[in-house]
Structure 1
Amino acid sequence: MRTTTRQRRRTARTTTVAAALLATLPALPAAAPASASTAFGKASVWLTNPSTGTYLSKQAPVTWKTGSASSGPSTITVDTTRKYQQMTGFGASFTDSSAWLVGTKLTAKQRNALMRDLFSRSDGIGLSFLRQPMGATDFTVKGNYSYDDMPAGESDPTLANFSIDHDRSYTIPLLKQARKLNPQLTLMATPWSPPGWMKTGDTMNGGQIKPAAYQHLADYFAKFLKAYQAAGVPVRYVTPQNEPLHDTSAYPSTSLTAGQAKTFINDYLAPTLRKQHLSTGILGYDHNWDVTSYPESLYTDAASAKNVAGTAWHCYAGEVSAQSVVHNDYPNKPAFQSECSGGSWEGTDAGATFAGTMDNIVNGPRNWAKSIIRWNIALDGSGGPTNNGCQGCRPVVTVSQNADGTYSYKPTADYWGLAQASKFVQPGARRVASNSFGKGDLEDVAFTNPDGSTALIAYNSSTTERAFTVRWGDRTFTYTLAAGAAATFTWTGTQHGSTDPAAIGSVDVPFRNADGSQALISYDGGLLAQQPQVRVGDQWLGYTLPTGASLTPPTGEAALPRDGWQATASASSSDAPPSNAIDGDAATRWSLGHGMQPGDWFQLDLGSQQTFDQVVLDSTASSGDFVRQYEVYTSGDGTTWGKPIATGPGRTVTRIQLPTTTARYVRVVNKASSGSWWSMHDVSVLAPDGQATSSASATNGVQRKSAALPDGTRLTAVYNSGPSTATFDVPWGSTTFSYRLPVGAAAIFITRPA
């Protein structure tokens, strides 16, 4: 038993924080292109400062200065010559609850005004992406529903009863109105559950899809897409399952492992969509940042890579940098952020709620997200109606009943945070390079729009007012942001003058695909913690290991015998002691007994001094319960531990390569937080067996490039653009390892002083 990755939503129901914001949505000024609204040589400024009740207020423009003035310590450097992902849009979801409130509780005049404020680029904030549930979620008005419900015990394999009539009353009309207001609107669709008759347990709440129902479900997707298309609502992307690693009996959900997803997509869904002449893209994973192996496993073979168009991420567990990790591992596969709800867990004052939204708006795109999608567009004053789901979730607007029985709507922090981006960053914009000072300081992200204008979004997440300089080529301006305030700067023109790469702090490594397209890797010092590193002599040697790749020592490995071993831990569940991890029984496990916190540890006493070079932590049978970030220490006496000899991120099977080490005690320390319990079903320690491994190489299509970070860290990136898996040698101290790299994957090797 463990806590769910959605535990951050499970807070007591509170009155939505929207009441602390403005009473009504203002009449927003037109979002004219910078070229039409700002004189050359100036930049427009749009400010939100919750502490003063200032929301998306146009300020006096700032004037660029030209010259060689030096940059100060708080300088945001923008380099529009370095371009990254193309943006699809910003938005939220018309859940059943949201659509019901907007579509049935507001007057026609109110509804039209709200839809204009949400979706119009000329008169509103220009939302351009909607993620639509396929059936019931944890936010529905009248309980569960699908598009093919059957009485208990009955099924409909021919889908003769399929119908989207439920959505025709208030959901589809709103989607059509949104498309009319913003013709560039993109829609994706996701089921929380198939019809219950397709699942084990005959219910939408929890369980798995019956293997015999995979084709029925693929046909269900095709019928949905065609029906929505016929209704005037084309869908550009689908995901097979919302939060496939979250299975609950409380509301619609479905367990779908990575292996099951691969089978469903490759053998059923993708072929069915092709057969039905549907071009809708499939995003293969729609869940949290803390399990990167799931989406990557869908990229490891040619069939999956062809059928999966990218990954959809949620923000409820893990770190946003996971998006960059997966991008650099498989640089041809884009990232989308498909759900990130604000809520009472962020706090209740206007500044705290705005901070959560701006963190998403700034750092999602900085880590390769093509979209930022919040959750409910509208909820009532109590955060509902809910379907036994999230308590305390915050919508983009609240639709609440007044004392006289009428309804009115109010914006929340999500509205204003989205506005700082969606009003100024057009679909098709490209993120461009800029430095950011990180959480608790000045944070920013920059874009170049299709019309040639540039938008810079800056947010002061510190607790004090911050003065800063913006540098763009040979031009600068200065500005001051209050604590908790955000500003969007827009301007036109072409960048003049060069940019010092050290001012940005990252390096870009471009590669070429066989079709001539570019595969771009970008790396900065913040990613060091996201890759395994080993202390070899006086250096740290770091390497990435995409799912499907392997790093093999020059000789084979043999597991040390476990006779005389003892295992201990910082804490344990009463029914899962540490000894379970070394008993050789995959059905038993050691489990921490609480959500992971920095400092949790698991320790082995090998009984005597042993020589080894690898530790393997296997959490396969407890999906998601692997250590999030580890350090490995060794000791001869169990008292003196010294410095760590290895560090890195965990995964379902965490295979930790070490320098050849002689010690009696091994301790693995967790360095990151997670709501999941740390569990291990098997722990092995391996030693070289002296038998040489194959050193055959296949390097057709392998490209190599080297670069250096401003701090002197050296990196070599290797990309496999060939038609088959590549193998090549990797220096490892005084020896050589063999690296296996799948098609379309990249590996990054770094060295830095220990």
Structure 2
Amino acid sequence: MSHKWPLVALVAALPVLALTPSVATAHPDRPGDVSVVLTNLDNETFLARQPALSWQVTPAGTVAPSDSQTITVDTTRQYQQITGFGASFTDSSAWLVGTKLDPKQRDAVMRDLFGSQGIGLSFLRQPMGASDFAVNGSYSYDDMPAGQTDPSLAHFSIDHDRAYILPLLRQARQINPRLTIMATPWSPPGWMKTSDSMVTGSLRTDAYQPLADYFTKFLQAYAAAGVPVQYVTPQNEPLYEPATYPGMFLPAAQEDDLVKNYLGPDLRAHHVNTGILAYDHNWDVVSYPETMYADPAAVGYVTGTAWHCYAGDATAQSVSHNDYPGEPAWQTECSGGTWEGDDHAGFAGALGLVINSTRNWAKGVIRWNLALDQNNGPTNDGCDTCRGVVTVAPDASGRWTYTKTVDYWGIGQVSKYVHPGARRVASNSFGAGDLQDVAFANPDGSTALVVFNSGTASRTFRVGWGDKSFGYTLPAGAAATFTWTGRQHGRPDPAAIGSVDIPLDGPGGSHPLVNVDSGMLAFQSQVRVGGQWLGYTLPTGATLTPPTSQRALSRDGWSVSASASSPDDPAGNAIDGDPATRWSTGHGMTPGDWFQLDLGAPRTFDKLVLDTSGSSGDFVRQYQVLVSDDGVTWSDPIATGPGATVTQILTPPVTARFVRVVNQANSGSWWSIHELNVFAPGPTTTAAAGSGSGVQRKTATLPDGTQLLVVYNPGHAVASFPVAWGATTYTYRLPAGAAAIFSTR
């Protein structure tokens, strides 16, 4: 269950900001100065140049004034290379800009969006056919009458796009030659699907090759029309099947099959060099793209992961990056809308998206519609509360014109000053409700620091860079971009940044990097062993196996209960032996939801398995496990960690009668369990064959004292190595290209 708006009452439509003078380009007034560009909605200041600041010499170890915070920037620590920032010329957006604005207005808005005197957007995500924003209903590039098919694609044509979509894309490329374009289908042609419709359905077993051919023809046709496409994703939001607009359910195993056996080989055979990005859905199902990274037959065809923002947290991008550190990420859709609240909340949404996505390894960030009208449309039976980057609507005299929304100013605070090819660099951030920031080193040698005050009061802070610093006061809800040139002298204490970098040596001369801070420990699986928490990550495809065989406990005498249950999915379904039935909460996951098992008598166990395969997106997002002898007095947590489609919770042997699993995170998806099993240790077994001789081992210490061990497999086959938990030694099997992070605290 996935939505582009929270399941709460939506507020009234957001008023649109009026046109303002052209925005300023940030250039230091003289060498050594710091340029400042400010947006503050409270006094209608939009990307406005402020007086330049001067650096002050700050010797190493100098303490910031007590009334300020310090943002430390370290340009010697560099991360992902930036593709760009932007939105989407959906059919609705392109129709508004391309047919409703007169040529003068159209050229003006295109310069404001893509030009260097505007906000310099450089990354577009184009729907392949209709999305939930289309003017005349659903369409594909090979529509057929109901009941008819076209497996040879004899009727394929992109003529629909020639009227107003392709001309705008060509104009955007002319204005900004560094523009990157990706493309995504909301649905293949209906005849390729079980529903024989672009609405609902899944991919027919005989349509995998026709769909691959469909992608190839589209990419060739767009290139011939002057619009080369650099990336595609196989399916928009593949775990969500909309009931009213184009979509398709495509589980991870099917996308893996499509990519490795059809789409990847087809593009390669036709010498189409477009990269394939996996997934293109929300942050809360990390296992989906990793299914392809763990598959040796698929990983060679996958360029990276595309993420959406509507469920989960941006930290998931860092989790997945550290699992497979050679695989890049892009944030490819996150709409602004009236559900966010007023102008200030919408501006905060745009800034928060760009800052948090890039701080978590996103190479690019895409909002959603470039343009919508005064009614948040035209829509195609989809979102009617989404907001465009600009609004195109008739004025009081009936003349169509455009105005810039808070998304324009929010994205522009970054896109105008962070250029394609820039590298994100290290900086500390104070998080939601406080100062949030991200920093970049541009290809021209300049540094850009974006700071957003997401608190409710002004913040006075200092920015430290090597042996220099400056001070600034930023009003509540305002954002500032600081730019400067020069070379950093001196390096700060790593504790000032709060994270550690673990460099690795990858295949082909690559140098992947794992980055960890204390906040990411919550995304590890952790077990309590004696007085310590031992944490570990388990990338998709990896296994951690105890030295004993395991036997499933008999369910005789068991009973179960839950904090809430759907009337159709009672708790007992989780232990009825039928994987087709399930228990579910009946509501979107909220912290504190729990599922409880009474074993009937004290039993010894060392593994719980929560199988959600029948509802692959409905697994527990973040769990704690507690045990009890009487069902009244509960232990401290004995295990914590992130869930997965099949959540395997390992513990040292523990004896208890009652077991409670508690959800710790929010999600729009219901929490479901199709089958719950508990395992007891059996006789000692022989460890599975494998060699860990090729793995790399690196250690590090977080500023809070947590000890880290990173094990990376740069080879081409699964590697095995031992892991000790107290007196028990487990066997860890790590896929090629994956990294495991172990922590002790």
Change (3 A) 1:465 1:13: closer
Q: Which residue of 1 aligns with 2:414?
A: 421
Q: Residue 133 of structure 1 is aligned with which of 127, 138, 141?
A: 127
Cα distance, 1:519 vs. partner? 1.0
In 2, distance between residues paired with 1:676 and 1:565? 27
Task: Note the alpha carbon deviations across 1:240-265, whole angstroms, 9 max, x for none.
Answer: 00000010220000111111101111
Please say if residues 37 and 49 of structure 2, whose CA atoms lie closer than 8 Å, have aligned partners that are also in contact. Answer: yes
- Aligned partner of 1:239 among 204, 223, 233: 233
Match of 2:617 in 1: 624
Aligned counterpart, 2:148: 154
Given the alignment, which residue of 672, 683, 704 partners 2:676? 683
Aligned to 1:324: 318
Moved more, 6-15 or 663-672: 6-15
Where does residue 584 of structure 2 map in the other structure?
591
The aligned residue for residue 174 of structure 1 is: 168
The answer (yes or no) to whether the contact 1:5–1:676 under 8 Å persists in 2 is no
Q: Which residue of 2 aligns with 1:342?
A: 336
Structure 1 CA distance for aligned equivalents of residues 76 and 266 of structure 2: 42
Q: 1:86 aligns with which of 81, 84, 91?
A: 81
User: How far, CA to CA, are the matches of 1:621 and 1:67 in structure 2?
Assistant: 59
Which residue number in structure 1 is paired with residue 541 of structure 2?
Answer: 548
- Code of the residue aligned with 2:513 in structure 1: it is L
Match of residue 196 from structure 1: 190
Q: SS state of the match for residue 573, structure 2?
A: helix
Over residues 383-442 of structure 1, what are the superposed CA-to-partner deviations in whole Å (9 max), with x where a residue is unaligned? 000000012101100001223221121111110011111100010000000000011111
State yes or no: 1:600 paired with 2:593: yes
Partner of 1:395: 388
Give the TM-score normalised by the residue count of structure 1: 0.97
Does the CA-based 8 Å contact 1:721-1:744 persist in structure 2? yes
| Aligned counterparts, 1:446-595, within 5 A | 446-595=439-588
- Give matches, 1:42-53, under 5 Å: 42-53=33-44
CA distance, structure 1, for counterparts of residue 227 and residue 591 of structure 2: 47
Query: Is it true that 1:300 corresponds to 2:294 in the alignment?
Result: yes
Matched-pair contact (CA < 8 Å) for 1:610–1:662: yes
Distance in 1 separating the partners of 2:729 and 2:21: 65
CA distance in 1, matches of 2:123, 2:303: 17
Contact 2:4 2:335 (8 Å CA) reproduced: no
Q: Residues of 1 paired with 2:684 and 2:556: CA distance?
A: 24
Structure 2 partner of 1:430: 423
Distance across 2 between alignment mates of 1:81 and 1:553: 42
SS at match of 1:254: coil
Q: Does 1:63 align with 2:57?
A: no
Q: CA 1:493–1:9 in 2, change beyond 3 Å: closer, same or farther?
A: farther
Counterpart residue identity of residue 51, structure 2: A
Shift of 1:67: 3.0
Distance 1:25 1:267 in 2: 52
DSSP-derived class of the 1:217 partner: helix
Query: Partner letter of residue 114 of structure 2?
Result: F
* SS at 1:669 equivalent: strand
Instruction: Work out the CA distance in 2 between the residues paired with 1:141 and 1:590.
Output: 41
The equivalent residue for 1:103 is 98
Q: CA deviation at 1:9?
A: 7.9
Is the Cα contact below 8 Å between 2:11 and 2:339 reproduced in 1?
A: no
Q: How far 1:344 sits from its partner (Å)?
A: 1.2
Aligned counterparts of 1:99 and 1:702: Cα–Cα separation in 2: 50
Rounded Cα–Cα distance in structure 1 between residues aligned with 2:540 and 2:152: 38
Task: Give the total of aligned pairs.
Answer: 741
Measured after TM superposition, the shift of residue 12 of structure 1 is: 5.0
How far does the alpha carbon of each residue in 1:564-620 deviate from its partner, in whole angstroms, 9 at most, with x for none? 000000111112111111111111111111111111100000000111111111111
Q: Partner letter of residue 464 of structure 2? A: R
Structure 2 Cα separation of the partners of residues 413 and 217 of structure 1: 38
1:282 alignment partner AA: I
CA distance in 1, matches of 2:384, 2:531: 51
Task: Pick which of 508-517 and 320-329 moved more.
Answer: 508-517
Q: Which amino acid aligns with 2:238?
A: P
Amino acid at match of 1:28: V
SS in 2 for 1:242: coil
How far apart are 1:26 and its partner, in Å? 2.4
Distance 1:110 1:643 in 2: 64
SS of the aligned residue for 1:208 comes to: coil
Q: 1:38 aligns to what?
A: 29
Contact 2:527 2:535 in 1 (8 A): yes
Structure 2 residues not aligned, in runs of 5+: none
CA RMSD of aligned residues (A): 1.2
Q: Can you give the 5+ residue segments of structure 1 that lack an aligned partner in the other structure?
A: none
CA contact (8 A) 1:706 1:714 kept: yes
Identity of aligned residues (%): 63
- Partners of 2:201 and 2:10 lie apart in 1 by 27
Question: Corresponding residue for 1:410?
Answer: 403
Per-residue deviation, 1:13: 8.3
Contact 2:20 2:46 in 1 (8 A): no
State how far apart, in whole Å, the 1-side matches of 2:195 and 2:714 are.
45
SS in 1 for 2:679: strand
**Aligned structure 1 segments of 4 or more residues deviating by more than 4 angstroms:** 9-14
| TM-score normalised over the length of structure 2 | 0.98
Please tell me whether the aligned partners of residues 18 and 411 of structure 1 are also in contact (alpha carbons under 8 angstroms): no
The answer to whether the 8 Å contact 1:13/1:383 transfers is no
Task: Write the letter of the residue equivalent to 2:559.
Answer: Q
Residue by residue over 1:182-219, the C-alpha shift from the partner in whole angstroms, topping out at 9 and shown as x without a partner, is 00000000000011111112100010111211111111
Name the residue aligned to 1:284: 278
Match of 2:358 in 1: 365
| Paired position in structure 2 for 1:8 | 6
Give yes or no for contact 1:597–1:674 (8 Å, CA) kept in 2.
yes
Structure 1 residue 233, shift from structure 2 partner: 0.4
Q: 1:312 corresponds to which residue?
A: 306
Corresponding letter in the other structure for 2:6:
R
Give the distance between the partners of 1:308 and 1:472, measured in 2 at CA.
37
Partner of 1:253: 247
The amino acid of 1:4's aligned partner reads S
User: How far 1:7 moved relative to its partner?
Assistant: 4.7
Could you tell me how far 1:482 is from its partner in structure 2?
0.4
Given candidates 598, 620, 626, the residue that maps to 1:633 is 626
> Which range moves more in the overlay, 64-73 or 227-236?
64-73
What are the equivalent positions in structure 2 for 1:600-749 lying under 5 Å apart? Answer: 600-694=593-687, 696-749=689-742
Q: CA deviation at 1:38?
A: 3.3
Provide the C-alpha distance between the structure 2 equivalents of 1:574 and 1:724, rounded to a whole number of angstroms: 47
Amino acid at match of 2:142: D
Q: 1:638 to 1:731 in 2, by over 3 A?
A: same
- State the secondary structure of the residue aligned to 2:512: strand
Preserved contact between residue 38 and residue 491 of structure 1 (Cα < 8 Å): no
